[in-house]
Structure 1
Amino acid sequence: MTILKDIILQLFFAHMPFVMYSVYYRDQSKNYTQKFIAITSMICLFISMTFGASVVSGYFYDIRYTIMFFGLIFGGLQTGFALLAEFVLYRFYIGGDGTFIAMVIMLVTFTGSFLLYRIYQKSERKSLVLLLAGMFFSVTPLLFVYLENPQSVIHNLSFHLLVIPMQNLVGCWLLITLFRKAVTDKELYISYGQHERVRAISHVAASLVHEVRNPLTAVKGFLTLIRDGVTDRGRIERYIEICMSEIARTEYILSEYLAISKPIGDKQEPTDLEELLRITKDVMSPYANMHNVLLEISHPPEPVWILANPDKMKQVLVNFIKNAVEACAEVPHTRGKVTLRLQVAARKVTLTIQDNGVGMTEEQAKRLGSIYFSTKSSGTGLGMTFSYQAILSFGGTVNVQSEPGAGTKFTIRLPVYTRDVEAREGVEA
């Protein structure tokens, strides 16, 4: 039972970088950094060595070699040397009869880890390299300890033949395989998310072409009349005034479109949701008109403040409105309608987005926001995944009600941001 406990404990420590990555980068639109790998690996190495298994006084066994190899693969040589320095300092601090042989083993395993790291980077059969690494990390310490103190190995043979190989073989394979899979999925999510955003913006841009063409046509017509010799001064001034009004309208449409399509930042700040809603409505109205869908909004006359990333929130609104418009466009012989209602009550901001489109089944509604799930045949689902994660990162919730053929209603709730909250947080800090 003690042996099993030691194995499970060390395997748990081996998973710490993977768990930390999954928690910290869950809602992030970026992947890990070398600094993150270095910090998590050093924490894991410290805890692992602190609670290492021991059957002979002064000799400690843990997953130090696995963590060292992990740090080299994902953090590079600098991280590897930082972990090596940490090990040397902490092992001298722990002390014991096995200190010298531990340093010799680490020198050999670190050199071997570097060679295996170079092979791993170039190899297509990475699982095989991980298996070889686990075997190397198991055999090397066993061999050196036997040469230095054979009786300690012989008297605890089951421990040396079971615990050490299990910790290193399983720990090395699980940690690096799971972490690599998580990193690959995050890279795909980021890549597809960027593609999904570009596609959404390009669809909106296509509708803006039609919207901008109308005022330009009007301006062209009135300028033609002026060029053709209209002599009435009052009429000329009226024509010029109309032209200026149409040009101003075009500038407004384009500036709001640029505000929506600019790169997304990371910082959260006090954000007026009422203003964002109006801006997004103006940008998405041409897209709705192109699909013969009526877009209506209802909001308080005063600003509605939330703590959020304004760029992300704009993209969230674009994603929800775009999906609602497209759902309405799929219903034949019916004038589509999308209604957005913004309300504030009980220190909560509630935004409802309702459409009379095709609707969804209960199963589809439950899966919304899951990565790569989409109700559209040509969709990736990453637009909704991004939106759900963004709302959660703002401390909000999303609820969906839908029936096939009866439309869909999304209810987004976010905490109200007030200055007294900011002041309280400043005092607590």
Structure 2
Amino acid sequence: MELITKDLLINFLFILFPLFLLQMFYSLKFVYRIDKLKNILFTILFMVSIGLCMLFPFSMGDGLNWDLRRIPFIIGILYGGPKNGVILFTFLLVTRFFIGGDPGFYISVITCSIMAIILSLLSKYYLKMPLGQKVFMSGLLVILYTQIAFFASINLGNEGFPANMWSEYFVINILAILMATLLIEVIRINSDMLKKLMKAEKLEVVSHLAASISHEVRNPLTTCKGFLQLSQQEEPSPYIKQYLATAIQELDRASDIINDYLTFARPAPEKIEQISIYQEVRNVVNILTPLANMNNVQMLVNIEKRDQAYILGDRKKLEQSLINIVKNGIESMGNGGRLEIKIDYQYPLVRVEIRDEGKGMTQHQINRLGEPYFTTKEDGTGLGMMVSYSIIKGMGGQINVDSEIGNWTSFSIEFPVAH
């Protein structure tokens, strides 16, 4: 009994050790920019954990070895997804084959195959669950896994498992999966907080810089434009007239850029009013329909007017932010396609969803949206998206982005409904 407890506690340490290494990696990746290695390292750490657990089991004889390998196997697939599951499944069975013992190997094939399918199907939904549901689900899955292994061992291995040993093994499995789930959630929360903190600091620096520079540059630009307009009142040659028109046009463009920077520096609405989200989305569609037609993009609008669907904010700034996002979606579809816009009312929130069939984005690109000077366009500056994020957050809104590379991108923008 004491030997079994000792072996299982050693297994438990083999589960915790990779999680602590994972925490170290998440802390260091922001310094050394090694995001590309994240998935590989995640898989390797859980392979090491599975391998160590299998190398130090407690044996019931006749080729039956019991350990805590199912804990990193479950966690690895739930958080790593089906691709990670294929690697862990293959590694586990190959390792078990070389360890030997016919009944034990066949039991592993049966139990791992069943659980790998279940876990792969659940992984996409699992990551979207709140913490309480995740803990409950992981506990439920380890109970299921343990029960399948237990009944398979009775039928294939003809081994009875003493009740006291089975109870101890069962309890340690549950405690291990619950603690591992909580630890990996803490690691993920810390990582997300660090991302947001670094992004906030970067945005704050640019915000102060934008505010100071914009005020200094706007006055001389206004003066230059005034003198150029006065020059047009004379009768210059056609060439000079063309030059003056070009100069004024470029000054207007520079002024627009400065206004964008000021909007970013002061995201809070200057004029707070009740805004009909239906009317604003309809205005944006009307403005951008010609651009969509030029790019062979079909705009599918599914919006329903509701009297209670009002939000608080600055009407012009909201329109500007929505135009930026919809325009990016249109321009992302180089060969045409469909762009869907719909409004979903779920009190106390109203949600605007914009989905295109463009080139899509990686998770790394999604995480950087709204950062200064980050863009996925070859000739873009990232200023439009940066301003849109700033405006929407300044109005108490939230942006969620989902994308599949090469297929689609979806923006879900939520606002609190005005009372």
TM-score range, shorter chain: 0.3 to 0.5
- TM-score of the pair, normalised by structure 2: 0.47
- TM-score of the pair, normalised by structure 1: 0.46
Higher Cα radius of gyration: 1
